[in-house]
């Protein structure tokens, strides 16, 4: 079971208009946004309401059957994402183009459908592209397609399920400290020399890591999301993703959005397949979906609180 620090308690600190205004003012000032005082004043209540509504949706999902959990969790997550977007984009939503989900799913075949083989496609406009760029500086995903199995393979809490159910091992455990040596078994998966792998990871991970020599990596104290290094909240340990698909360097909160969007669409519009899956559990889809929904309930508040904490590291409000 998760050794849960109550991340919701931290987020409740923002249910003070005065504190939220100071927090947003600090965010805007650090980004050298003009008129931070007036913008923080106008945004403090929307910011608070997004956080409150997000928490309500997620906590309500605890008391509902799995058949509707993905819907509640997804829309709760959307509200929490919107709160985070306000910390970097004080004019959100500036146009109606950012209000759509920004993701689409293909039409499903009624026979022999597999959730893990299903995929989502990124649209040009919408909340998805907006928050990925504003929060994580991830760009140029338009028209990209991501399969559910490839996305979920990068969530460390699901590693055991993928190993036992699908005989696949996509992650290597690194330990519970934020510095570790790249071992040979990890390097062998990338089929790169030490120097080439070092160059590759430096280009992809940037200032979030520091090389200490002898292939030892140190994660920045302010870095909570450094793909392909993933944090297993349940085991309090870091893992390295070795599944080199197009989701390898996606931050985990982006993976959640894509997978939850698809699940919420299925729960709303593919009732026959969805209920049949829940009642008959015919294949590996069910246990992986069930575990994923449990994982995101705990990791969403962890990521949201970590993102907001990183905004005020070393500051007194």
Q: DSSP letter string over 70-90?
A: HHHHHHHHHHHHHHHHHTT-T
pLDDT of res. 92: 95
Confidence class of residue 314 from pLDDT cuts 50, 70 and 90? low
pLDDT of res. 1: 43
Is 206's pLDDT higher than 70?
yes
pLDDT 10s digits, 33-55: 999 999 999 999 999 999 999 99
3-state helix, strand, coil in the chain (%, to 5): 55, 10, 35
Confidence class of residue 111 from pLDDT cuts 50, 70 and 90? low
- How far apart CA 180 and CA 29 sit, in angstroms, is 35
Average model confidence (pLDDT) across the chain:
89
Average pLDDT over residues 7-23: 95
pLDDT of res. 83: 98
Cα separations in angstroms, 248 against 113, 205, 216: 25, 12, 21
Is 86's pLDDT higher than 70?
yes
Is the model more confident about 187 or about 304? 304
pTM: 0.93
Structure tokens at 44: 């403090």
> What is the residue whose two structure tokens read 């059957």?
65
pLDDT of res. 3: 47
Confidence class of residue 245 from pLDDT cuts 50, 70 and 90? confident
pLDDT 10s digits, 159-202: 999 999 988 888 888 888 888 887 777 777 777 877 888 888 88
Q: What percent of the chain has pLDDT over 90?
A: 62
Q: What percent of the chain has pLDDT over 70?
A: 95
Cβ atoms of residues 200 and 192 within 8 Å:
yes
């Amino acid at each position: 079971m998760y050794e849960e620090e109550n991340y919701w308690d931290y987020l409740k600190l923002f249910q003070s208009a005065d504190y939220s205004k100071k927090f947003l003012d600090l965010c805007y000032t650090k980004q050298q946004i003009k008129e931070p005082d007036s913008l923080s004043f106008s945004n403090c209540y929307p910011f608070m309401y997004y956080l409150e509504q997000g928490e309500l949706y997620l906590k309500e999902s605890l008391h509902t059957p799995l058949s509707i959990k993905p819907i509640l969790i997804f829309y709760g997550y959307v509200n929490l994402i919107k709160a985070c977007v306000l910390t970097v984009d004080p004019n959100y939503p500036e146009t109606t183009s950012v209000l759509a989900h920004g993701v689409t799913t293909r039409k499903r075949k009624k026979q022999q459908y597999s959730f893990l083989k299903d995929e989502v496609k990124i649209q040009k406009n919408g909340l998805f592209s907006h928050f990925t760029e504003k929060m994580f500086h991830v760009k140029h995903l338009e028209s990209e397609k991501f399969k559910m199995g490839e996305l979920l393979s990068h969530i460390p809490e699901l590693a055991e399920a993928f190993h036992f159910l699908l005989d696949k091992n996509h992650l290597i455990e690194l330990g519970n400290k934020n510095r570790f040596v790249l071992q040979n078994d990890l390097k062998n998966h990338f089929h790169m020399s030490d120097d080439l792998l070092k160059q590759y990871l430096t280009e992809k991970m940037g200032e979030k890591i520091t090389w200490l020599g002898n292939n030892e990596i140190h994660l920045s104290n302010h870095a909570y999301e450094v793909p392909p290094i993933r944090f297993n909240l349940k085991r309090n340990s870091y893992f390295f993703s070795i599944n080199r698909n197009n989701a390898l360097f996606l931050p985990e909160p982006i993976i959640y959005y894509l997978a939850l969007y698809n699940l919420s669409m299925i729960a709303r519009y593919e009732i026959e397949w969805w209920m049949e899956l829940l009642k008959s559990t015919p294949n590996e889809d069910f246990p992986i979906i069930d575990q994923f929904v449990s994982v995101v309930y705990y990791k969403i508040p962890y990521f949201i609180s970590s993102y907001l904490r990183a905004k005020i590291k070393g500051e007194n409000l």
